Amino acid sequence: MNSFFPSRKLGQNFTVNLSVIKRIFAFVKNLNPQAIVEIGVGKGALTNYLLKLKIPYKGIEIDKRLIEYLLVEKILTEDQLVKGDILKKDFNSFFENLSPLLCGNIPYSITSPIINKFLESKLRSFVLMTQKEFANRLLAKVNSSDYSAFGAFCQYYLTITTVFKIDRHAFKPKPKVDSTLILLEKNKSVSYDFKFGLFLKQCFNQRRKMLINNLKHFFAVDYLLNIIQKQNLKTSIRAQELSPCQLFNLYQNICNGKN
CA distances from 143 to 137, 192, 237, 244, 245 (A): 12, 24, 11, 12, 14
Q: Is 116 part of any known ligand binding site?
A: no
What DSSP letter does each residue of 188-209 carry, written as one string?
Answer: TTS---HHHHHHHHHHTSSTTS
Q: Is 77 annotated as belonging to a binding site?
A: no
From residue 66, give the alpha-carbon distance in Å to each of 25, 88, 224, 226: 21, 19, 53, 58
259 annotated as belonging to a binding site for a ligand: no
Cα-Cα-Cα-Cα dihedral of 227, 228, 231, 232, to 10°? -130
Is residue 171 classed as helix, strand or coil in its secondary structure? Answer: strand
- For residue 63, say whether it is annotated as part of any ligand binding site: no
The verdict on whether residue 105 carries a ligand-binding annotation is yes
180 marked as binding residue: no
Residues annotated in a binding site for S-adenosyl-L-methionine: 13, 15, 40, 61, 85, 105
Residues annotated in a binding site: 13, 15, 40, 61, 85, 105
